[in-house]
Amino acid sequence: MSEWIDFGIYVTLIVLLFVVLPRHGRQFTLPMIADRNPEWLARNRDVVARLERSRWFLNACYVWAAVSIVVLLAVQLDVVAPPFGSNAPKWEVLKDVNSTFFIVGLLGWSGCSLLWLRWLGTHVPPAETRSATLKPRLVSDYVALPWRIAVEGLTVLHLGVWIVIGALGFAGGAKFWGAFAFFIGMSVLFAVFAYFVPRRRPGYLDRVFGDTYRRSEIRIAFFMRVWPVVTGAIVMTELMTGADLDRLAQLLVASFVCVLALMVLRLRPVAPGSGTTPGYGAFAPEA
């Protein structure tokens, strides 16, 4: 398999996380302030205007994306030597470079998010406490029965195959059963998460995005439930055959994150510019 495939997947991941998602997130600044205190938003037009003009976070993300892609391209074209004199294959070097930029970029993004939340808590006093009527919600309200059956069936089949393979002696030992226990834990964790998502209390994101947010959250939760099945199949194959599938696993991880990012990008504030979100309509950008 050509390393250009690895390069293309990693570049797609970088563009989604550090170019598309930050641009997408700018539209949530005013709804977030309006949700906390719509009167403050209406009184402080100058502050809101400065926030709308500010682009330092966007520019920092763009620079990080550009640097990441340039370094990956330099590695792919053999313009730079592998770090620390590594003799690893190129796909592994690309993977390590991408992982480094990905982790550092997410740490920087997390730091900026904490600074924003601190600014919001310091400068925007909360409005009067809201009251809302909670209605019972179930997974069946958001995910069709065939999809639920498919996810549950795949999960049971996956774990059953592990047991059969171990019982028949095709693979075994502490490493095999340790991996089996790990994937049981992952399956249970994601199943519990999917179970409680429709039952949690509504929060800020529900008010900004409406019922679309909970629906997307549940779909993401069910998509994550498939992840132990895919990774478990790869690990099982490695343990049975001794094949080295690390490269495939890394590309699947990157592709998995890309799909999650695309699912997040589908979210939009409720009726932006129409005044549905309190205090937002007066400050919505002109079309």
When pLDDT is averaged across residues 36-62 and rounded to a whole number, the result is 88
Tell me: the pLDDT tens digits for 175-234?
899 999 999 999 999 999 988 888 887 777 787 788 888 888 898 899 899 999 999 999
Query: Distance between CA 99 and CA 105 in Å, rounded?
Result: 10
Burial class, 20, CB count within 10 angstroms (exposed 0-12 / middle 13-18 / buried 19+): middle
pLDDT at 152: 93
Given pLDDT bands bounded at 50, 70 and 90, which one contains residue 27?
A: confident
Is the pLDDT higher at 8 or at 29?
8
Query: Distance between CA 125 and CA 53 in Å, rounded?
Result: 22
Given pLDDT bands bounded at 50, 70 and 90, which one contains residue 2?
A: confident
- H or E segment and range at residue 218: helix 211-241
Given pLDDT bands bounded at 50, 70 and 90, which one contains residue 277?
A: very low
pTM: 0.77
**Percent of the chain at pLDDT exceeding 70:** 89
- 207: phi then psi, degrees, rounded to nearest 5: -70, -35
Tell me: the pLDDT tens digits for 72-112?
999 999 887 766 556 778 888 999 999 999 999 999 988 99
Q: Which pair of structure tokens corresponds to residue 162? A: 């592990």
Count other Cβ atoms within 10 Å, centred on residue 215: 17
Tell me: the pLDDT tens digits for 130-148?
555 455 577 777 888 898 8
Q: List alpha helices for 37-125, DSSP H.
A: 38-43, 45-53, 56-76, 90-123
Determine contact, residues 138/198, Cβ cutoff 8 Å.
yes
18, 87, 136, 250 from 14: Cα distances, Å: 6, 25, 39, 15
pLDDT > 60? residue 45: yes
63, 121, 194, 227 from 272: Cα distances, Å: 29, 24, 29, 34
Nearest to 68 by CA among 23, 107, 19, 101: 101
pLDDT at 83: 64
Determine contact, residues 9/254, Cβ cutoff 8 Å.
yes
Nearest to 96 by CA among 79, 71, 118: 71
